[in-house]
Amino acid sequence: MSREHYSYTVYADPATAHSFDERRFGGPIGQLIAEEQARVLDEFVGDARGRLVLDVGTGTGRAALQMSRRGARVTGVDASESMLAVARRRAADAQLEVRFLAGDAHALAFTDREFDVVISLRVLMHTPDWRRSLAELCRVSGRLVIFDYPAAVSFAAVQSFARRLTHAFGARTEPYRVLRHGVVADALRTHGFRIRATHRQFVLPIAAHKAIGSPRFSLASRALSQRTGLLGLLGTPVTVAAERCEF
């Protein structure tokens, strides 16, 4: 896989790694998003004690550290040594034992079904080949795969199109992809997995929520969109828990 792809070059930058958590999870809305992501992950994994967990595209280790706190035996993998340096420092500060390794989501250096649970958040939207990456997540998971993606039927699709357009004209941006739920479900079935649960976050773009800056508004608008059915139609990102069909 070419290391010239933005998903490698952007996150290899030490400055990006250092500011990553503040940019994504800073402020009241960022904190709300982080708390919701953690809650959904806990719900989807269930009892994590003693489980072998792999976090692919671990970044600064947020999900990996969360699973370690809950008693899992965790390995985190990322293509960026700069991101891994932050993750290792955070684990040391928290006195948590997490194995962090350099690796690529397209070719994981683990045996088939080596882990009980495989997690990969905010990764498939950026990888050069999402199907190959998803195949690897499924290959090394014995039971459960948890990942997310921006929905093709959502406001994220508009932002994705705009980013791809500006990137084509030379702008330094992350032209992420959006995915259709049916296409994702079909890809999972190819590898012997079925969707067990999904969670959709917001109808309005996250950038809009951050611009407004009110957790009360964000929670109220989400509740309204859930009651009206809009969340199920237009909500994004979509977090998926998929299990091996024999379970």
Structural domain that includes position 58: 6-150+174-202+238-244
Nearest to 203 by CA among 184, 223, 183: 223
For the cut 70, the answer to whether the pLDDT of residue 50 exceeds it is yes
Is residue 207, in this structure, part of any structural domain at all?
Answer: no
Is residue 230, in this structure, part of any structural domain at all?
Answer: no
**CA–CA separation, 6 vs 126, rounded Å?**
8
Where residue 247 falls among pLDDT bands split at 50, 70, 90?
A: low
Is residue 188, in this structure, part of any structural domain at all?
Answer: yes
Kind and range of the H or E element at 196? strand 193-202
Percent of the chain predicted with pLDDT > 90: 80
Q: How far is CA 4 from the centre of its chain?
A: 22
Provide the number of structural domains found in the chain.
Answer: 1
> What mean pLDDT, rounded, does the chain reach?
93
Is residue 160, in this structure, part of any structural domain at all?
Answer: no
Nearest to 76 by CA among 110, 26, 127, 43: 110
Contact 149, 175 (CB under 8 A): no
| Cβ count within 10 A of residue 119 | 30
Is residue 138, in this structure, part of any structural domain at all?
Answer: yes
Contact 241, 146 (CB under 8 A): yes
pLDDT on residue 101: 98
Is residue 210, in this structure, part of any structural domain at all?
Answer: no
Q: What CATH number is attached to the domain comprising 126? A: 3.40.50.150
Contact 14, 77 (CB under 8 A): no
pLDDT on residue 23: 87
Is residue 211, in this structure, part of any structural domain at all?
Answer: no
Give per-residue pLDDT as tens, 81-124: 999 999 999 999 999 999 999 999 999 999 999 999 999 999 99
Where residue 1 falls among pLDDT bands split at 50, 70, 90?
A: low
**Which pair of tokens denotes residue 150?**
């921006």
Which residues, 6 or more positions from 50, have their beta carbon under 8 angstroms from its beta carbon?
A: 71, 72, 73
Where residue 6 falls among pLDDT bands split at 50, 70, 90?
A: confident
Where residue 166 falls among pLDDT bands split at 50, 70, 90?
A: confident
β pairing state of 115-120 and 52-56: parallel
**CA–CA separation, 176 vs 127, rounded Å?**
8
pLDDT on residue 156: 85
pLDDT on residue 217: 96
Percent of the chain predicted with pLDDT > 70: 98
For the cut 80, the answer to whether the pLDDT of residue 169 exceeds it is no
Q: What is the pTM of this model?
A: 0.94
Is residue 68, in this structure, part of any structural domain at all?
Answer: yes
